[in-house]
Structure 1
């Protein structure tokens, strides 16, 4: 069902106006989006959640990507045809942001955030069907790429997420189907984990959005 007012989101009886509606176009207000994101974050993750000033530049990129602001994304060197790979140190808030950002566009089909270790554990149990399952036409964000264990089914090892990413790349080429991800690893570490072939495909699949290496652990 098409939302009549997709720029106004109600949470817990409170209305949050993220911008103004002009014809079929929403003119978003970043400051209003931040107010909503902090409120939604508290509902999702607890009262301790807050938007840190140091993260505003990252959030600005993610928001403009999510609302599909072509002009701003071009200035930010973000290709809207690709997915997002959000990288950064442990605990900087990557997973929370990817779970949160999707809520500002309730009129778009959301992506599911799936821990990569869960995919590997499922492969160990049911085998290669799991690779086919995630190589479908659904939207996914693969959380913590590169730290999942090697899969093993009936004594045979498999780099499960590497195979899944190859399948997602084929879908990207054929249908422009987007895939997102988060990772603690840098480009060299990802190549060591998945190999040069998958790393090359990842460059085509993803826009890299990165926290500073010095970003603090917000869970501490």
Structure 2
């Protein structure tokens, strides 16, 4: 049996916990070692895990490994999706790309730039809303900075409509949706309206970087 807490990257095997044949006990320092190594493979040799991000990484790790006890302490519901918020350049997208690798046995989600969804709508039309609203396992990146959609002269708040469909998908089938955003709750409500914002509360766990987090791309 392949242990769910052993992950092979090339010739190197990383252990991120202990498996007794029934349950896994994860080890956060070992998870950090793996994430740092995997980050360098994904994003280049200059990638690093910053000390100031350990708290948010701990919360997110508990979510991904479905550590129910610690999720409860953080006010996180493992069956809901993630809305990861924070300033520009703090590393939101990188973490969403990276953390899914600590649970290789779970089906991965696609990370889709929100603006690309709108560009697809402008070209294809309402089928785009159906495709992204009903398809499984998406993370919408940079939610809230996408332009208004326009198809054959009609304006559409594309991501707002998709989020309404994703909420229905979640309620009926338990399929999660993830997103990253630079905006706060008030800004999201102004952009998408109270109805969508209300659905987002049911759809997402809000996990936020410290507002003072620096731009790591500089």
Q: Normalising to structure 2: TM-score of the pair? A: 0.98
Is the aligned partner of 1:176 residue 2:174? Answer: yes
How many residue pairs were aligned?
218
For 1:62, the equivalent position in structure 2 comes to 60
For 1:126, the equivalent position in structure 2 comes to 124
Cα offset, 1:171, TM superposition: 0.6
Which 5+ residue runs of structure 1 have no aligned equivalent? none
The CA deviation string for residues 41-88 of structure 1, in whole angstroms up to 9 with x for no partner, is: 001001110000000000001111000011110111101121110000
CA distance in 2, matches of 1:137, 1:155: 26
For 1:207, the equivalent position in structure 2 comes to 205
Cα offset, 1:177, TM superposition: 1.0
Over aligned residues, Cα RMSD in angstroms? 0.9
CA distance in 2, matches of 1:166, 1:22: 42
For 2:82, the equivalent position in structure 1 comes to 84
Which 5+ residue runs of structure 2 have no aligned equivalent? none
Q: 8 Å contact 1:84–1:181 — kept in the other structure?
A: yes
Q: Normalising to structure 1: TM-score of the pair? A: 0.97
Cα offset, 1:23, TM superposition: 2.2
For 1:158, the equivalent position in structure 2 comes to 156
- Aligned ranges 1:1-220 → 2 under 5 Å: 4-220=2-218
Cα offset, 1:137, TM superposition: 4.1
Cα offset, 1:22, TM superposition: 1.6
Q: 8 Å contact 1:137–1:177 — kept in the other structure?
A: no
CA distance in 1, matches of 2:63, 2:73: 12
Moved over 2 A (4+): none
Q: 8 Å contact 1:91–1:218 — kept in the other structure?
A: yes
The CA deviation string for residues 117-160 of structure 1, in whole angstroms up to 9 with x for no partner, is: 11000000000000100122410111000000001101111000
CA distance in 2, matches of 1:124, 1:215: 34
CA distance in 1, matches of 2:62, 2:207: 12
CA distance in 2, matches of 1:182, 1:13: 33
Cα offset, 1:24, TM superposition: 2.2
What SS class does the counterpart of residue 134 from structure 2 fall into?
Answer: coil
